Protein backbone atom coordinates (compact mmCIF):
# COMPACT_ATOMS: atom_id res chain seq x y z
CA UNK A 1 0.00 0.00 0.00
CA UNK A 2 1.43 3.43 -0.97
CA UNK A 3 2.81 5.48 1.89
CA UNK A 4 3.42 8.81 0.12
CA UNK A 5 2.22 11.87 2.07
CA UNK A 6 -0.96 13.61 0.95
CA UNK A 7 1.05 16.76 0.17
CA UNK A 8 4.70 17.67 -0.28
CA UNK A 9 4.48 20.20 2.53
CA UNK A 10 7.70 20.47 4.57
CA UNK A 11 7.18 22.23 7.94
CA UNK A 12 10.93 22.46 8.61
CA UNK A 13 11.68 25.12 5.98
CA UNK A 14 12.29 28.70 7.05
CA UNK A 15 13.43 30.19 10.33
CA UNK A 16 11.63 33.27 11.69
CA UNK A 17 8.25 34.46 10.42
CA UNK A 18 6.36 37.73 10.85
CA UNK A 19 2.79 37.69 9.56
CA UNK A 20 1.06 41.02 8.94
CA UNK A 21 -2.73 41.19 8.79
CA UNK A 22 -5.08 44.12 8.54
CA UNK A 23 -8.44 45.05 9.96
CA UNK A 24 -11.28 47.57 9.65
CA UNK A 25 -10.52 48.59 6.05
CA UNK A 26 -8.16 47.83 3.20
CA UNK A 27 -5.51 50.23 1.97
CA UNK A 28 -4.33 51.09 5.48
CA UNK A 29 -0.66 50.55 4.74
CA UNK A 30 -0.02 46.95 5.79
CA UNK A 31 2.53 46.64 3.01
CA UNK A 32 4.47 49.75 4.04
CA UNK A 33 4.35 48.65 7.70
CA UNK A 34 5.69 45.22 6.71
CA UNK A 35 8.32 46.68 4.37
CA UNK A 36 9.44 49.17 7.03
CA UNK A 37 9.83 46.37 9.59
CA UNK A 38 11.92 44.48 7.06
CA UNK A 39 14.07 47.53 6.34
CA UNK A 40 14.90 47.93 10.05
CA UNK A 41 15.74 44.24 10.47
CA UNK A 42 17.94 44.44 7.40
CA UNK A 43 19.70 47.48 8.90
CA UNK A 44 20.37 45.33 11.98
CA UNK A 45 22.21 42.76 9.86
CA UNK A 46 19.52 40.19 9.05
CA UNK A 47 18.74 38.61 5.70
CA UNK A 48 15.07 39.47 5.20
CA UNK A 49 12.64 38.42 2.49
CA UNK A 50 8.92 38.94 2.03
CA UNK A 51 5.81 37.19 0.73
CA UNK A 52 2.62 38.91 -0.38
CA UNK A 53 -0.62 36.95 -0.10
CA UNK A 54 -3.44 38.10 -2.39
CA UNK A 55 -6.69 36.27 -1.65
CA UNK A 56 -8.21 36.79 -5.10
CA UNK A 57 -8.91 33.97 -7.55
CA UNK A 58 -6.69 35.46 -10.23
CA UNK A 59 -3.53 33.43 -10.67
CA UNK A 60 -1.61 36.70 -10.94
CA UNK A 61 -2.24 40.42 -11.33
CA UNK A 62 -1.45 40.50 -15.06
CA UNK A 63 -4.99 40.83 -16.39
CA UNK A 64 -6.21 43.33 -13.79
CA UNK A 65 -7.25 46.88 -14.58
CA UNK A 66 -5.03 49.32 -12.63
CA UNK A 67 -8.14 50.82 -11.07
CA UNK A 68 -8.60 47.50 -9.26
CA UNK A 69 -5.22 47.06 -7.58
CA UNK A 70 -2.94 49.75 -8.99
CA UNK A 71 -0.07 49.02 -11.33
CA UNK A 72 0.95 45.53 -12.36
CA UNK A 73 4.48 45.14 -11.04
CA UNK A 74 6.84 42.93 -13.04
CA UNK A 75 9.54 40.82 -11.39
CA UNK A 76 12.85 39.74 -12.90
CA UNK A 77 11.51 36.25 -13.66
CA UNK A 78 8.49 37.70 -15.47
CA UNK A 79 5.99 37.34 -12.64
CA UNK A 80 3.16 39.87 -12.85
CA UNK A 81 2.29 40.73 -9.28
CA UNK A 82 0.68 43.16 -6.85
CA UNK A 83 2.36 46.54 -6.43
CA UNK A 84 3.26 45.70 -2.81
CA UNK A 85 6.01 43.44 -4.17
CA UNK A 86 7.48 46.62 -5.64
CA UNK A 87 7.51 48.21 -2.20
CA UNK A 88 9.30 45.16 -0.79
CA UNK A 89 11.93 45.28 -3.51
CA UNK A 90 12.48 49.00 -2.96
CA UNK A 91 12.59 48.85 0.86
CA UNK A 92 14.62 45.63 1.14
CA UNK A 93 16.70 46.16 -2.02
CA UNK A 94 16.18 42.50 -2.87
CA UNK A 95 14.89 41.05 -6.14
CA UNK A 96 11.77 38.99 -5.54
CA UNK A 97 10.46 36.14 -7.68
CA UNK A 98 7.01 34.97 -8.67
CA UNK A 99 7.20 32.51 -5.77
CA UNK A 100 7.02 35.47 -3.37
CA UNK A 101 3.43 36.15 -4.40
CA UNK A 102 0.75 33.67 -3.26
CA UNK A 103 -2.78 33.99 -4.63
CA UNK A 104 -5.92 31.93 -4.15
CA UNK A 105 -5.80 31.17 -7.87
CA UNK A 106 -2.25 29.82 -7.64
CA UNK A 107 -2.95 27.62 -4.64
CA UNK A 108 -6.24 26.19 -5.92
CA UNK A 109 -4.87 25.65 -9.43
CA UNK A 110 -1.95 23.61 -8.10
CA UNK A 111 -4.15 21.51 -5.81
CA UNK A 112 -6.67 20.81 -8.58
CA UNK A 113 -3.89 19.84 -11.00
CA UNK A 114 -2.51 17.40 -8.41
CA UNK A 115 -5.96 15.95 -7.85
CA UNK A 116 -6.44 15.44 -11.60
CA UNK A 117 -3.08 13.69 -11.75
CA UNK A 118 -4.10 11.35 -8.94
CA UNK A 119 -1.44 12.58 -6.54
CA UNK A 120 -3.77 12.46 -3.55
CA UNK A 121 -4.27 8.69 -3.91
CA UNK A 122 -8.04 8.77 -3.93
CA UNK A 123 -8.43 10.99 -0.88
CA UNK A 124 -11.22 13.55 -0.70
CA UNK A 125 -9.47 16.84 -1.54
CA UNK A 126 -10.45 19.57 0.90
CA UNK A 127 -9.56 23.08 2.00
CA UNK A 128 -8.02 21.53 5.12
CA UNK A 129 -5.44 20.05 4.80
CA UNK A 130 -4.76 20.24 1.07
CA UNK A 131 -5.24 23.93 0.29
CA UNK A 132 -3.85 25.11 3.63
CA UNK A 133 -0.82 22.85 3.25
CA UNK A 134 -0.29 24.26 -0.24
CA UNK A 135 -0.39 27.81 1.15
CA UNK A 136 2.07 26.95 3.91
CA UNK A 137 4.36 25.16 1.46
CA UNK A 138 4.59 28.21 -0.76
CA UNK A 139 5.38 30.49 2.17
CA UNK A 140 8.04 28.19 3.58
CA UNK A 141 9.77 27.62 0.26
CA UNK A 142 9.95 31.37 -0.38
CA UNK A 143 11.39 31.84 3.14
CA UNK A 144 13.96 29.06 2.91
CA UNK A 145 17.53 30.30 3.37
CA UNK A 146 16.59 33.66 4.92
CA UNK A 147 16.78 34.78 8.54
CA UNK A 148 13.35 36.36 8.57
CA UNK A 149 10.35 36.14 6.24
CA UNK A 150 7.66 38.82 6.46
CA UNK A 151 4.30 37.65 5.12
CA UNK A 152 1.62 40.23 4.34
CA UNK A 153 -1.92 38.82 4.16
CA UNK A 154 -3.88 41.01 1.76
CA UNK A 155 -7.42 42.17 2.41
CA UNK A 156 -8.95 42.50 5.86
CA UNK A 157 -9.79 40.03 8.59
CA UNK A 158 -13.33 38.78 8.05
CA UNK A 159 -13.17 38.69 4.25
CA UNK A 160 -14.55 35.32 3.13
CA UNK A 161 -11.85 34.86 0.47
CA UNK A 162 -9.13 35.28 3.08
CA UNK A 163 -10.33 32.54 5.45
CA UNK A 164 -8.18 29.68 4.05
CA UNK A 165 -5.10 31.87 4.44
CA UNK A 166 -5.92 32.79 8.03
CA UNK A 167 -6.55 29.13 8.80
CA UNK A 168 -3.15 28.30 7.28
CA UNK A 169 -1.68 31.05 9.45
CA UNK A 170 -3.31 29.54 12.54
CA UNK A 171 -1.81 26.15 11.75
CA UNK A 172 1.52 27.82 11.08
CA UNK A 173 1.53 29.38 14.54
CA UNK A 174 1.26 25.93 16.14
CA UNK A 175 4.02 24.45 13.97
CA UNK A 176 6.54 27.11 14.96
CA UNK A 177 8.26 27.64 18.28
CA UNK A 178 6.95 30.69 20.13
CA UNK A 179 10.04 32.74 19.31
CA UNK A 180 9.85 31.88 15.59
CA UNK A 181 6.39 33.28 14.93
CA UNK A 182 5.04 36.81 15.31
CA UNK A 183 1.64 38.16 14.28
CA UNK A 184 1.36 41.89 13.62
CA UNK A 185 -2.11 43.33 13.13
CA UNK A 186 -2.56 46.76 11.51
CA UNK A 187 -5.82 48.57 12.21
CA UNK A 188 -7.42 51.95 11.74
CA UNK A 189 -7.66 54.30 14.73
CA UNK A 190 -10.00 57.08 13.57
CA UNK A 191 -10.89 60.33 15.26
CA UNK A 192 -14.36 61.12 16.51
CA UNK A 193 -15.90 64.50 15.76
CA UNK A 194 -14.73 65.78 19.13
CA UNK A 195 -11.11 64.84 18.35
CA UNK A 196 -10.89 61.61 20.39
CA UNK A 197 -8.90 58.65 19.07
CA UNK A 198 -11.39 55.76 18.88
CA UNK A 199 -10.28 52.22 19.66
CA UNK A 200 -13.52 50.34 19.04
CA UNK A 201 -12.72 49.45 15.39
CA UNK A 202 -9.44 47.92 16.56
CA UNK A 203 -11.20 46.01 19.32
CA UNK A 204 -13.71 44.49 16.91
CA UNK A 205 -10.99 43.64 14.40
CA UNK A 206 -8.96 41.80 17.04
CA UNK A 207 -12.12 40.07 18.25
CA UNK A 208 -12.63 38.77 14.70
CA UNK A 209 -9.05 37.47 14.65
CA UNK A 210 -9.41 35.75 18.01
CA UNK A 211 -12.64 34.06 16.89
CA UNK A 212 -10.60 32.05 14.38
CA UNK A 213 -7.85 31.19 16.85
CA UNK A 214 -5.36 33.97 16.22
CA UNK A 215 -4.06 36.33 18.89
CA UNK A 216 -1.95 39.24 17.62
CA UNK A 217 1.41 39.77 19.25
CA UNK A 218 1.78 43.34 18.00
CA UNK A 219 -0.83 45.97 17.16
CA UNK A 220 -0.02 48.89 14.87
CA UNK A 221 -2.48 51.75 14.87
CA UNK A 222 -2.85 53.75 11.65
CA UNK A 223 -3.92 57.24 12.56
CA UNK A 224 -3.41 60.81 11.37
CA UNK A 225 -1.15 61.33 14.38
CA UNK A 226 0.77 59.27 16.90
CA UNK A 227 -1.38 57.26 19.30
CA UNK A 228 -1.84 58.95 22.64
CA UNK A 229 -0.65 57.02 25.73
CA UNK A 230 -4.22 56.52 26.93
CA UNK A 231 -5.18 55.18 23.48
CA UNK A 232 -2.38 52.63 23.61
CA UNK A 233 -3.37 51.61 27.11
CA UNK A 234 -7.00 51.09 26.12
CA UNK A 235 -6.06 49.04 23.04
CA UNK A 236 -3.74 46.90 25.15
CA UNK A 237 -6.40 46.32 27.81
CA UNK A 238 -9.18 45.28 25.46
CA UNK A 239 -7.03 43.38 22.96
CA UNK A 240 -5.01 41.37 25.49
CA UNK A 241 -1.53 42.60 24.63
CA UNK A 242 0.98 44.59 26.65
CA UNK A 243 1.09 48.35 26.19
CA UNK A 244 4.64 47.93 24.89
CA UNK A 245 3.21 45.89 22.00
CA UNK A 246 1.02 48.74 20.70
CA UNK A 247 2.71 51.00 18.15
CA UNK A 248 1.82 54.12 16.19
CA UNK A 249 2.08 54.45 12.43
CA UNK A 250 0.96 58.03 11.79
CA UNK A 251 0.66 59.77 8.44
CA UNK A 252 3.97 61.04 7.08
CA UNK A 253 4.94 63.20 4.11
CA UNK A 254 6.88 60.40 2.44
CA UNK A 255 6.52 56.62 2.80
CA UNK A 256 10.31 56.35 3.07
CA UNK A 257 10.04 58.06 6.46
CA UNK A 258 7.87 55.26 7.89
CA UNK A 259 10.88 53.11 8.92
CA UNK A 260 12.22 56.10 10.82
CA UNK A 261 8.91 56.68 12.59
CA UNK A 262 8.39 53.07 13.69
CA UNK A 263 12.06 52.85 14.67
CA UNK A 264 11.55 55.79 17.02
CA UNK A 265 8.54 53.90 18.42
CA UNK A 266 10.85 50.95 19.14
CA UNK A 267 9.09 48.48 16.84
CA UNK A 268 12.32 46.92 15.58
CA UNK A 269 13.71 46.31 19.07
CA UNK A 270 10.44 44.77 20.24
CA UNK A 271 10.30 42.48 17.19
CA UNK A 272 13.89 41.32 17.64
CA UNK A 273 13.34 40.64 21.33
CA UNK A 274 10.17 38.63 20.70
CA UNK A 275 11.84 36.60 17.94
CA UNK A 276 14.97 36.00 20.00
CA UNK A 277 17.10 37.92 17.54
CA UNK A 278 18.37 40.69 19.81
CA UNK A 279 21.58 38.81 20.67
CA UNK A 280 22.30 38.28 16.96
CA UNK A 281 21.63 41.85 15.88
CA UNK A 282 24.40 44.30 15.07
CA UNK A 283 25.14 46.80 17.85
CA UNK A 284 23.17 50.00 17.29
CA UNK A 285 26.27 52.02 16.40
CA UNK A 286 27.19 49.47 13.69
CA UNK A 287 23.80 49.26 11.98
CA UNK A 288 23.28 50.51 8.45
CA UNK A 289 22.27 54.17 8.62
CA UNK A 290 22.33 54.86 4.89
CA UNK A 291 18.53 54.83 4.55
CA UNK A 292 18.05 57.54 7.19
CA UNK A 293 20.78 59.73 5.73
CA UNK A 294 19.38 59.36 2.22
CA UNK A 295 15.73 60.13 2.91
CA UNK A 296 16.36 63.00 5.32
CA UNK A 297 18.96 64.87 3.25
CA UNK A 298 18.44 68.55 2.48
CA UNK A 299 17.34 69.32 -1.07
CA UNK A 300 18.37 72.26 -3.20
CA UNK A 301 15.01 72.92 -4.84
CA UNK A 302 12.25 71.25 -6.82
CA UNK A 303 11.45 70.38 -10.42
CA UNK A 304 8.11 69.64 -12.08
CA UNK A 305 7.74 66.53 -14.23
CA UNK A 306 4.57 66.01 -16.27
CA UNK A 307 3.34 62.41 -16.29
CA UNK A 308 1.10 62.00 -19.31
CA UNK A 309 -1.16 58.98 -18.84
CA UNK A 310 -4.74 57.79 -18.95
CA UNK A 311 -5.26 56.52 -15.40
CA UNK A 312 -6.10 59.29 -12.94
CA UNK A 313 -4.67 57.23 -10.10
CA UNK A 314 -1.19 57.50 -8.60
CA UNK A 315 -1.08 53.78 -7.78
CA UNK A 316 -1.40 53.02 -11.50
CA UNK A 317 2.05 54.57 -12.00
CA UNK A 318 3.53 54.11 -8.54
CA UNK A 319 6.87 52.69 -9.73
CA UNK A 320 7.35 55.70 -12.02
CA UNK A 321 6.55 58.08 -9.16
CA UNK A 322 9.08 56.25 -6.99
CA UNK A 323 11.74 56.12 -9.71
CA UNK A 324 11.45 59.90 -10.14
CA UNK A 325 11.75 60.25 -6.37
CA UNK A 326 14.87 58.06 -6.35
CA UNK A 327 16.44 60.17 -9.09
CA UNK A 328 15.59 63.24 -7.03
CA UNK A 329 17.35 61.73 -4.02
CA UNK A 330 20.45 61.19 -6.14
CA UNK A 331 20.40 64.74 -7.51
CA UNK A 332 19.33 66.40 -4.23
CA UNK A 333 16.07 67.81 -5.59
CA UNK A 334 12.41 67.27 -4.86
CA UNK A 335 10.37 66.04 -7.82
CA UNK A 336 6.79 67.22 -8.17
CA UNK A 337 4.85 64.88 -10.46
CA UNK A 338 2.17 66.74 -12.38
CA UNK A 339 -0.67 64.54 -13.61
CA UNK A 340 -1.69 65.25 -17.21
CA UNK A 341 -4.69 63.35 -18.60
CA UNK A 342 -3.74 62.14 -22.07
CA UNK A 343 -7.42 62.00 -23.08
CA UNK A 344 -7.74 65.76 -22.65
CA UNK A 345 -4.64 66.74 -24.58
CA UNK A 346 -6.00 67.31 -28.09
CA UNK A 347 -6.86 70.99 -27.84
CA UNK A 348 -4.69 72.51 -25.14
CA UNK A 349 -1.69 70.23 -24.72
CA UNK A 350 0.79 73.10 -24.88
CA UNK A 351 -1.00 74.89 -22.04
CA UNK A 352 -1.00 71.70 -19.98
CA UNK A 353 2.68 70.98 -20.57
CA UNK A 354 4.43 74.33 -20.77
CA UNK A 355 4.80 74.63 -17.00
CA UNK A 356 6.69 71.35 -16.70
CA UNK A 357 10.46 70.94 -16.66
CA UNK A 358 10.33 67.45 -18.17
CA UNK A 359 7.83 64.96 -19.59
CA UNK A 360 7.35 61.24 -18.97
CA UNK A 361 5.00 59.15 -21.11
CA UNK A 362 4.42 55.78 -19.38
CA UNK A 363 3.42 52.35 -20.60
CA UNK A 364 -0.12 51.14 -21.13
CA UNK A 365 -2.41 49.17 -23.38
CA UNK A 366 -5.24 49.95 -25.78
CA UNK A 367 -6.19 52.99 -27.81
CA UNK A 368 -7.57 55.31 -25.14
CA UNK A 369 -5.41 58.38 -24.69
CA UNK A 370 -2.79 57.46 -27.30
CA UNK A 371 -3.32 60.56 -29.46
CA UNK A 372 -2.77 62.75 -26.42
CA UNK A 373 0.47 60.92 -25.67
CA UNK A 374 1.60 61.44 -29.24
CA UNK A 375 0.92 65.19 -28.95
CA UNK A 376 2.87 65.34 -25.68
CA UNK A 377 5.82 63.61 -27.36
CA UNK A 378 5.65 66.01 -30.29
CA UNK A 379 5.65 68.95 -27.89
CA UNK A 380 8.72 67.59 -26.10
CA UNK A 381 10.55 66.95 -29.37
CA UNK A 382 9.81 70.31 -30.96
CA UNK A 383 10.40 72.40 -27.81
CA UNK A 384 13.55 70.69 -26.51
CA UNK A 385 11.80 69.57 -23.31
CA UNK A 386 13.56 66.60 -21.65
CA UNK A 387 11.49 63.50 -22.39
CA UNK A 388 11.40 59.89 -21.23
CA UNK A 389 9.12 57.37 -22.95
CA UNK A 390 8.50 53.98 -21.37
CA UNK A 391 7.18 50.95 -23.28
CA UNK A 392 4.05 52.40 -24.94
CA UNK A 393 5.69 55.83 -24.57
CA UNK A 394 8.65 54.48 -26.55
CA UNK A 395 6.32 53.07 -29.20
CA UNK A 396 4.32 56.30 -29.50
CA UNK A 397 7.59 58.24 -29.94
CA UNK A 398 8.27 56.03 -32.98
CA UNK A 399 4.74 56.71 -34.26
CA UNK A 400 5.07 60.48 -33.72
CA UNK A 401 8.38 60.66 -35.58
CA UNK A 402 7.08 58.48 -38.42
CA UNK A 403 4.07 60.74 -38.89
CA UNK A 404 5.54 64.19 -38.40
CA UNK A 405 9.14 63.82 -39.59
CA UNK A 406 9.23 60.88 -41.99
CA UNK A 407 5.89 61.86 -43.50
CA UNK A 408 4.29 58.44 -43.13
CA UNK A 409 0.69 59.64 -42.98
CA UNK A 410 -1.54 57.55 -40.74
CA UNK A 411 1.38 55.70 -39.16
CA UNK A 412 0.39 53.97 -35.93
CA UNK A 413 0.65 50.87 -33.84
CA UNK A 414 -1.26 47.84 -35.09
CA UNK A 415 -2.49 47.40 -31.53
CA UNK A 416 -4.35 50.72 -31.73
CA UNK A 417 -5.28 50.79 -35.44
CA UNK A 418 -5.44 47.46 -37.23
CA UNK A 419 -5.99 49.25 -40.56
CA UNK A 420 -3.08 51.69 -40.35
CA UNK A 421 -1.26 52.02 -43.70
CA UNK A 422 2.03 52.18 -41.80
CA UNK A 423 2.16 49.77 -38.84
CA UNK A 424 5.50 51.05 -37.53
CA UNK A 425 4.64 49.20 -34.33
CA UNK A 426 3.48 45.62 -34.84
CA UNK A 427 2.82 42.50 -32.80
CA UNK A 428 5.74 40.33 -31.73
CA UNK A 429 6.05 37.32 -34.07
CA UNK A 430 5.77 34.87 -31.17
CA UNK A 431 2.44 36.45 -30.20
CA UNK A 432 0.57 35.60 -33.42
CA UNK A 433 -0.90 32.35 -32.14
CA UNK A 434 -1.33 33.39 -28.50
CA UNK A 435 -4.92 33.31 -27.28
CA UNK A 436 -4.66 33.44 -23.48
CA UNK A 437 -4.16 36.90 -22.00
CA UNK A 438 -2.56 36.01 -18.66
CA UNK A 439 1.22 35.59 -18.45
CA UNK A 440 1.75 35.41 -22.22
CA UNK A 441 3.51 38.70 -23.02
CA UNK A 442 7.25 39.19 -23.33
CA UNK A 443 7.94 39.42 -19.63
CA UNK A 444 10.79 39.80 -17.18
CA UNK A 445 14.49 40.65 -17.40
CA UNK A 446 16.18 40.68 -20.81
CA UNK A 447 19.58 42.02 -21.80
CA UNK A 448 19.91 44.94 -24.21
CA UNK A 449 23.07 45.63 -26.25
CA UNK A 450 23.96 49.33 -26.48
CA UNK A 451 25.60 51.13 -29.39
CA UNK A 452 28.97 52.70 -28.50
CA UNK A 453 29.18 56.49 -28.42
CA UNK A 454 25.45 56.99 -27.87
CA UNK A 455 23.41 58.73 -25.20
CA UNK A 456 22.28 55.28 -24.10
CA UNK A 457 25.88 54.25 -23.41
CA UNK A 458 26.37 57.43 -21.39
CA UNK A 459 23.16 56.86 -19.44
CA UNK A 460 23.95 53.23 -18.58
CA UNK A 461 27.70 53.63 -18.39
CA UNK A 462 28.46 50.53 -20.43
CA UNK A 463 27.78 48.39 -23.49
CA UNK A 464 24.66 46.67 -22.17
CA UNK A 465 21.88 46.77 -19.60
CA UNK A 466 19.36 44.30 -18.20
CA UNK A 467 15.85 45.59 -17.59
CA UNK A 468 12.35 44.19 -17.17
CA UNK A 469 9.81 43.97 -19.99
CA UNK A 470 6.05 43.70 -20.38
CA UNK A 471 4.80 44.04 -23.95
CA UNK A 472 3.24 42.29 -26.95
CA UNK A 473 4.22 44.82 -29.64
CA UNK A 474 7.55 46.08 -30.98
CA UNK A 475 9.07 48.34 -33.61
CA UNK A 476 8.23 46.77 -36.96
CA UNK A 477 11.48 45.55 -38.62
CA UNK A 478 10.02 46.40 -42.04
CA UNK A 479 10.46 50.10 -41.19
CA UNK A 480 14.05 50.00 -39.92
CA UNK A 481 15.34 51.38 -43.24
CA UNK A 482 13.00 54.37 -42.99
CA UNK A 483 14.73 55.47 -39.79
CA UNK A 484 18.25 54.84 -41.11
CA UNK A 485 20.25 58.08 -41.16
CA UNK A 486 17.57 60.05 -39.29
CA UNK A 487 18.08 62.05 -36.11
CA UNK A 488 15.94 59.51 -34.28
CA UNK A 489 18.12 56.44 -33.87
CA UNK A 490 17.77 53.10 -32.14
CA UNK A 491 20.74 52.86 -29.79
CA UNK A 492 19.79 49.70 -27.90
CA UNK A 493 18.69 46.37 -29.30
CA UNK A 494 18.18 42.72 -28.49
CA UNK A 495 18.84 40.73 -31.63
CA UNK A 496 16.52 42.24 -34.23
CA UNK A 497 14.37 43.86 -31.55
CA UNK A 498 14.71 47.60 -30.92
CA UNK A 499 14.93 48.45 -27.20
CA UNK A 500 16.18 52.06 -26.84
CA UNK A 501 15.72 55.18 -28.95
CA UNK A 502 17.24 58.65 -28.71
CA UNK A 503 17.15 61.87 -30.72
CA UNK A 504 20.33 63.61 -31.86
CA UNK A 505 20.50 67.30 -31.09
CA UNK A 506 17.88 67.16 -28.33
CA UNK A 507 18.74 67.87 -24.66
CA UNK A 508 17.28 64.52 -23.62
CA UNK A 509 14.88 62.52 -25.76
CA UNK A 510 15.07 58.92 -24.55
CA UNK A 511 12.71 56.00 -24.98
CA UNK A 512 12.86 52.41 -23.74
CA UNK A 513 10.81 49.40 -24.77
CA UNK A 514 11.47 48.04 -21.28
CA UNK A 515 10.35 49.37 -17.89
CA UNK A 516 13.41 50.73 -16.07
CA UNK A 517 11.21 51.96 -13.21
CA UNK A 518 10.85 48.40 -11.88
CA UNK A 519 14.55 48.17 -10.96
CA UNK A 520 14.86 51.61 -9.38
CA UNK A 521 15.68 51.78 -5.67
CA UNK A 522 16.38 54.48 -3.07
CA UNK A 523 20.15 54.87 -3.26
CA UNK A 524 20.28 53.07 -6.63
CA UNK A 525 18.16 55.18 -8.94
CA UNK A 526 17.26 54.04 -12.45
CA UNK A 527 19.76 55.48 -15.00
CA UNK A 528 17.16 56.76 -17.52
CA UNK A 529 15.37 58.66 -14.74
CA UNK A 530 18.64 60.14 -13.45
CA UNK A 531 19.45 61.17 -17.03
CA UNK A 532 16.09 62.88 -17.31
CA UNK A 533 16.68 64.90 -14.15
CA UNK A 534 20.22 65.80 -15.17
CA UNK A 535 18.86 67.21 -18.43
CA UNK A 536 16.17 69.12 -16.54
CA UNK A 537 18.72 70.61 -14.16
CA UNK A 538 20.91 71.64 -17.11
CA UNK A 539 18.11 73.75 -18.58
CA UNK A 540 18.80 77.48 -18.17
CA UNK A 541 15.25 78.17 -17.01
CA UNK A 542 15.32 75.57 -14.20
CA UNK A 543 15.40 77.47 -10.91
CA UNK A 544 17.42 75.03 -8.81
CA UNK A 545 20.81 75.42 -7.19
CA UNK A 546 23.63 73.25 -8.49
CA UNK A 547 22.96 69.83 -6.90
CA UNK A 548 25.39 67.84 -4.83
CA UNK A 549 25.42 64.23 -5.98
CA UNK A 550 24.76 61.63 -3.30
CA UNK A 551 27.03 58.60 -3.33
CA UNK A 552 24.78 55.65 -2.52
Active-site annotation, residues: 391, 515, 517
Phi/psi of residue 447, nearest 5 degrees: -85, 140
How many CB atoms lie under 10 A from the CB of residue 444? 18
* CA dist., res. 473 & res. 396, Å (int): 11
Q: Which residues contact 435 (CB under 8 A, 6 or more apart)?
A: none
Phi/psi of residue 19, nearest 5 degrees: -100, 140
Instruction: Return the sign of the alpha-carbon dihedral for residues 265, 268, 272, 274.
Output: positive
* CA dist., res. 99 & res. 97, Å (int): 5
Structural contact between residues 129 and 2, judged by C-beta atoms closer than 8 angstroms:
no
Tell me which residue of 189, 171, 74 sits closest to 131, measured CA to CA. 171
* CA dist., res. 220 & res. 274, Å (int): 16
How many CB atoms lie under 10 A from the CB of residue 547? 17
Give the burial class of 435: count Cβ atoms within 10 A of its Cβ; 0-12 exposed, 13-18 middle, 19 or more buried.
Answer: exposed
* CA dist., res. 153 & res. 200, Å (int): 22
Bridge partners of 540, per DSSP, are none
Give the three-class secondary structure for 201. helix
Q: Is the bond preceding residue 129 a cis peptide, omega within 30 degrees? A: yes
From the centroid of its chain, how far is CA 357?
Answer: 26
Q: Which residues contact 365 (CB under 8 A, 6 or more apart)?
A: 392, 415
Instruction: Return the sign of the alpha-carbon dihedral for residues 503, 504, 507, 513.
Output: positive
Helix-, strand-, coil-residue percentages of the chain, each rounded to 5: 40, 20, 40
Structural contact between residues 520 and 510, judged by C-beta atoms closer than 8 angstroms:
no
Amino acid sequence: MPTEPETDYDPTLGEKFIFVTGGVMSGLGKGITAASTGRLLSNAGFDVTAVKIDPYLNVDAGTMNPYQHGEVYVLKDGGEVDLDLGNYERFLDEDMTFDHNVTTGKAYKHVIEKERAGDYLGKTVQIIPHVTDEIKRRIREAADGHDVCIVEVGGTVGDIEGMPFLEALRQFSHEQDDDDFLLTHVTLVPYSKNGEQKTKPTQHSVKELRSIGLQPDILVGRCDDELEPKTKEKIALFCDVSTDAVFSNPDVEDIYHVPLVVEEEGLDEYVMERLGLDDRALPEDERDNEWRELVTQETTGAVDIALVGKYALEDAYISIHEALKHAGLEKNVDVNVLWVDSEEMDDDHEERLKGSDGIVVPGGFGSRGTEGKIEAIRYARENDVPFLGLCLGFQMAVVEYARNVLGLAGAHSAEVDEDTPHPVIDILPEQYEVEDMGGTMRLGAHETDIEPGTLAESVYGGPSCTERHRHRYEVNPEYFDDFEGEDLQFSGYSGNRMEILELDGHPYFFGTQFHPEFRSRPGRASPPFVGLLEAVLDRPDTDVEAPEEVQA
